[in-house]
Amino acid sequence: MRGTRGRALAALLVLTACDLLQPTPDAALPIDELDVESRPAEVEPMGQAPTGPVMQIATGEVLGGRFHFVVHQTAGGVCSSLDWENGAGSACGALPGDAPRSEAFGMMLFGGDGVTQNVTGIVSAEVTDVWIELDSGERARAVVLPLDAADLEANAFMAFVPVAVGELVAVLALDGDGDLIERFEMSPAPPIDAAVPTPGAP
């Protein structure tokens, strides 16, 4: 699996309490044969050495291409990798709560093949819903996955979105009541195959 070519991106975090996300059509691509049963990963872990179990937390197919989403804890935080037939990448970063000025978000990763963009990341355990906001005004709902099997008190998320729908504007983290916990705005939009620095990190 090829590594991710990353570049630093300016980011602005805006925390809004008790802000309810309005219903919106879902721009995310459907995931076929989605399996979210956590199991030991059968791939070599990418990035920093694991200090806990290396777990595959999801697998499925998007546009006919199979993917495997793998997460493991490290001494410095967490690493995740998305091995997808249409584009793959990995990144390491801080866990939610360990990053300055951010309680909801940890590391995030953006990739794709020029036609489809994928967004994955780590959020705090109180986050049960994640939406990807695009410059077209549309939003894509991510799949949120618990990380108990990886010995992490956090959740992961992933979404696949057509590039033609629009460029990434922000990632929104919501609680179980639908209230907005935190909004992570990106400027400029990340290119395909870009690792985004941990929110709030210098």
Q: How confident is the model at residue 120 (pLDDT cuts 50, 70, 90)?
A: very high
Extract the tokens encoding 78: 């967490």
User: What end-to-end distance do the CA atoms of the chain give, in Å?
Assistant: 29
Please give the backbone phi and psi of residue 165, each rounded to the nearest 5 degrees, phi first.
Answer: -70, -35
Residues pairing with 58 in the sheet: 69
Cβ atoms within 10 Å of 202's Cβ, excluding its own: 5
Question: 49-92, pLDDT tens digit by residue?
Answer: 899 999 999 999 999 889 999 999 999 899 999 988 766 688 89
- Distance from the Cα of residue 90 to its chain's centroid: 11
Where do the structural domains in the chain lie, given as residue ranges?
Answer: 11-196
33: confidence class by pLDDT, cuts 50, 70, 90: very high
pLDDT at 103: 83
Query: How many angstroms separate the CA atoms of 103 and 134, rounded?
Result: 23
Confidence of residue 164 (pLDDT cuts 50, 70, 90): very high
101-110 per-position pLDDT tens digit: 678 999 998 8
DSSP type of residue 102: B
Across the range 4-20, mean pLDDT stands at: 33
CA separation for the pair 165, 161 (Å, rounded): 7
Burial class (CB in 10 A: 0-12, 13-18, 19+), 188: exposed
